Amino acid sequence: MSDMDHKDMESGNPEGNGAGGSDSGEKKKEYEDVCFICRRPESKAGKMFHLPNNICVCDDCMHKTMDAVSQYDYQGMLNNPQILNMLNGQFDSRNKKPEEDGEKKDEKKQGFPNISVINLSGLTGSGPIPNKQRIRKKNGAEKEKAKPLLDIHSIPAPHKIKARLDEYVIGQERAKKIISVAVYNHYKRVATDTMDEIEIEKSNILMIGPTGSGKTYLVKTLARLLDVPLAIADATSLTEAGYIGDDIESVVSKLLAAADNDVDKAEQGIIFIDEIDKIAKKKNTTSRDVSGESVQQGMLKLLEGAEVEVPVGANSKNAMVPLATVNTRNILFICGGAFPDLAEIIKQRLRRQTSIGFNAELRDKWDREKNILSQVTVEDIRNFGMIPEFIGRLPILCTLEGLNEEMLVRILKEPRNAILKQYQKLLELDEVKLEFTDDALEAIAKKALEKDTGARALRSIIEDFMLDIMYEIPKDDNIGRVTITRAYIEGTGGPLIDIRGNYSLEDMEDMHEIAEKPVS
């Protein structure tokens, strides 16, 4: 292959006319090219050959292909006149015009029977590589001029982070304070990288709390406040490498996808691994624990900070997926789980400390303790089934309280996107005002406590009794106000409905305020 041909192929000009694809050369690509054969990105494989139909081939694969082609004996085939005539007849028949075919229908066709020349334009079954499997190109000149992703002066203070969390999350004051301080210190560490040659260690967080207490909701609100990429992974799907399931590196791959395949942005994100208690060591088993202790051991390097090869746009490594190198040193890991049997382990430890005599603590004292998880220690988590190396890389323990009736009532009406506000907004679109009495809210909270699934129970209860109201209200345009009472929640009565008549919704509100004023 000549130098001219080599330059033409690199510039995307397969005809070799010297044009060199000036338009594509002037346009800066946002993503790296990926080899069509080995699936390596341009940063790994080097410069690419650009072929027609958006096909890119790296230098190594191109040379291997040319070597394989050069080993075939074409001389013996082309020196045979019979084979040469067949080939000429095959190409002549493909290049004929329609009128020529009509004139010579009776002429015997030449060429190989049932064999046609391959059209290279049809070799794009997989099509161009989608952007979700492309890696963003790094430009050194632009990187120096670009504004840093995090500025130490723009990081909100802990009290501001907690104040923003208060708008969405009810209660959990200690948990919000712990998370606010930990995140603030972590991103100060990321923004400065060092302080007087003293390297600051990363502060990963372990959140422990009953189901429905707001673990995932806290992290989602936190990521929205800081405007950093967030990946939420489920530990139940992770297995040791080589087994069916997601590889451990897939959690970093999800973060890379959330950062739009920008490695620099992903290296400063947050990864929340939910259901972390499901990878505890299995007890009384002789089989290999591929989804328990093995996953904990595989996650050690991620939590500590290491450069890992992660698949781009996929959950597992394979030959058809490009790989990217991500450094997890500045990624904040937050692990959360309900740890359902941890309360009994804590009670057993506390009961061993009881004594007899005057002023002694009774053995059944801790059975009545609601927030028993606040007494948790590293020893309790190790007895639950988490290995010591894993616990040591999560230095901050954050426990969440179980929700009581008062907190559930506040969750119904106080947050910015409270459930009641959502339904009130829906009915406002039909020009109907929705109200709830205080007794009704207490009845809803009491029903939610019986389900023992935390704040998630509130939605299911409200969906149940609001079904008939949402179905019947669009039938009648005269309905102006609906008031939900305790009797309707308990099934002993119905909601109070006010008819609009000829008055608008604003007029009805004014009339309702006048009627409530005491007569002097």
Whether residue 387 sits in one domain with residue 254:
yes
Whether residue 356 sits in one domain with residue 282:
yes
The residue range of the domain holding 431 is 405-516
Whether residue 241 sits in one domain with residue 321:
yes
Whether residue 364 sits in one domain with residue 243:
yes
- Least Cα distance to 127 among 56, 206, 231 occurs for 56
Q: What is the CATH number of the domain that holds 508?
A: 1.10.8.60
> pLDDT in tens for each of the 520 residues of the chain?
445 444 444 444 444 444 444 444 444 467 788 888 888 888 888 888 888 878 888 888 888 888 777 766 555 655 666 665 665 655 455 455 555 545 444 444 445 455 554 454 444 444 556 666 666 665 544 444 445 555 666 778 899 899 989 888 888 899 999 999 988 888 888 777 655 567 777 889 999 988 888 888 888 888 777 778 888 888 888 888 778 778 888 899 889 988 888 888 888 888 999 999 988 887 776 677 788 888 898 899 899 888 988 888 776 777 677 888 899 988 999 999 989 888 888 888 887 765 565 555 555 666 667 778 888 899 999 999 899 999 999 999 999 988 889 999 999 989 888 899 999 999 999 889 999 999 999 999 999 998 888 888 898 899 988 998 889 888 888 888 899 999 999 888 888 888 876 544 555 555 455 444 454 4
Last residue of a domain, one of 375, 399, 423: 399
Task: Identify whether 481 is part of a domain.
Answer: yes
Task: Identify whether 128 is part of a domain.
Answer: no
DSSP secondary structure letters along 23-35:
HHHHSPPSB--B-
Whether residue 151 sits in one domain with residue 14:
no
Q: What is the CATH number of the domain that holds 160?
A: 3.40.50.300
Task: Identify whether 134 is part of a domain.
Answer: no
Whether residue 387 sits in one domain with residue 256:
yes
Question: Tokens 């302080």 identify what position?
Answer: 195
Whether residue 315 sits in one domain with residue 188:
yes
Whether residue 114 sits in one domain with residue 39:
no
Whether residue 202 sits in one domain with residue 56:
no
Q: Which residues contact 390 (CB under 8 A, 6 or more apart)?
A: 296, 297, 299, 300, 303
Last residue of a domain, one of 399, 432, 452: 399
- Least Cα distance to 312 among 56, 58, 60, 31 occurs for 31
Whether residue 82 sits in one domain with residue 54:
no
Task: Identify whether 140 is part of a domain.
Answer: no
Task: Identify whether 388 is part of a domain.
Answer: yes
Whether residue 189 sits in one domain with residue 330:
yes
The predicted model scores a pTM of 0.67
Give the CA distances from residue 388 to residues 231, 301, 375, 514, in Å, rounded to whole numbers and listed in that order. 25, 14, 19, 67
Whether residue 394 sits in one domain with residue 349:
yes
Domain count, the chain: 4
What one-letter code names the amino acid at 196?
D
Q: Are 382 and 397 in contact (CB under 8 A)?
A: no
CA–CA dist 281, 277 (Å, integer): 9
Last residue of a domain, one of 376, 399, 422: 399
Task: Identify whether 131 is part of a domain.
Answer: no
